């Protein structure tokens, strides 16, 4: 049986030719009202979350709505936040990491390496900063605080003056504005990796030696124990430990020979 409309045309022919009947308009109006109500509910829900958490982006807003059992799609949340002007400001972009320089590109100067080693103690977490003179393998500074200037002054007191090339990784301690200002005062800073030739692997061996030969053997438990151990470690590392890179001499003897040669040259 073919249904007909009021003007005698079949409903099938109306649908085929794109004609709409009065019933269709009534049904469409009901659907439009339903969609409008759903849109209002979605806007109200999003406004509630965005008002309570103004820093939320669309992803966190979407997950919060899901926790409230409100079924709004993620892309719809993103679009509505944009329409409502509720998108939070973009996060501050991370500073680009400094480039790693090859050995041939390093500036002129005596190389100092600095790194921090982390220890978990009974009274908290401590960071020990070690500074090493690369040429003589001398541990010129060791403390539970930043000690770059102290290492520089130790060498200067021996007459080893001139610009320094400070080598470290790209940790936040070493890329901070304060540390970079100190590096500019005494020379230049370059970023190095552990694996590259002449890189941070030199100081990494010092860190491992400090941990395994002293901290673990002496059962350091507190920050006071750690501070008390540092001078003894420096004396042992500089005056007693033999280094294969130095033809199995101590770093103190190599440094003393360098200072003596410099003094004899200046007096001649």
Judge contact between 243 and 251, C-beta under 8 A: yes
CATH class assigned to 103-267: alpha beta
Each domain of the chain, given as residue ranges in start order, spans 15-84, 103-267
**Cα(214)–Cα(233) distance, rounded to whole angstroms?**
7
Digits of tens for pLDDT over the chain (268 positions)?
444 445 555 455 444 445 555 556 566 677 788 888 878 888 888 888 888 888 788 888 888 888 888 888 888 888 888 888 877 766 677 777 788 888 888 999 999 999 988 888 887 778 889 999 999 999 998 886 557 888 888 888 888 888 999 999 988 888 888 888 889 989 999 999 988 888 999 999 999 999 999 888 888 888 888 889 999 999 999 999 999 999 999 999 999 999 999 888 877 7
- What are the angstrom distances between the C-alpha of 131 and each of 29, 134, 152, 181, 228? 78, 9, 9, 17, 18
| 120 Cβ neighbours under 8 A, 6+ residues apart | none
For 122-155, give the DSSP string: TTEEEEEEEEEETTTTEEEEEESS--HHHHHHHH
Q: Which is it for the CA torsion 178, 151, 204, 197, positive or negative?
A: positive
The CA angle 245-251-255, to the nearest 5 degrees, is 115
Q: Does the predicted TM-score (pTM) go above 0.75?
A: no
User: What is the per-residue pLDDT for 77?
Assistant: 86
């Amino acid at each position: 049986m073919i249904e007909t409309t009021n003007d005698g045309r079949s409903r099938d022919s109306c649908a085929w030719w794109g004609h709409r009947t009065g019933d269709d308009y009534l049904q469409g109006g009901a659907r439009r009202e339903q969609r409008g109500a759903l849109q209002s509910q979605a806007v109200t829900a999003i406004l509630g979350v965005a008002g309570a958490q103004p820093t939320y982006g669309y992803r966190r807003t979407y997950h919060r709505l899901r926790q409230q059992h409100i079924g709004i799609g993620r892309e719809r949340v993103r679009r509505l936040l944009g329409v409502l002007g509720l998108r939070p400001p973009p996060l501050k972009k991370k500073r680009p990491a400094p480039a790693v320089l090859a050995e041939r590109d390093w500036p002129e100067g005596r190389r100092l390496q600095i790194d921090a080693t982390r220890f978990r103690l009974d009274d908290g977490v401590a960071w020990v900063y070690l500074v090493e003179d690369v040429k003589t393998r001398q541990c010129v500074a060791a403390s539970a605080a930043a000690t770059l200037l102290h290492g520089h002054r130790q060498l200067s007191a021996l007459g080893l003056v001139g610009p320094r090339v400070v080598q470290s990784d790209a940790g936040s301690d070493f890329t901070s504005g304060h540390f970079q200002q100190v590096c500019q005062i005494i020379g230049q800073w370059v970023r190095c990796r552990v694996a590259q030739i002449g890189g941070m692997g030199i100081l990494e061996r010092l860190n491992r030696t400090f941990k395994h030969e002293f901290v673990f053997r002496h059962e350091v438990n507190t920050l006071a124990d750690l501070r008390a151990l540092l001078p003894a470690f420096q004396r042992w590392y500089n005056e007693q430990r033999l280094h294969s890179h130095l033809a199995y001499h101590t770093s103190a003897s190599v440094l003393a020979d360098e200072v003596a040669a410099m003094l004899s040259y200046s007096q001649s």
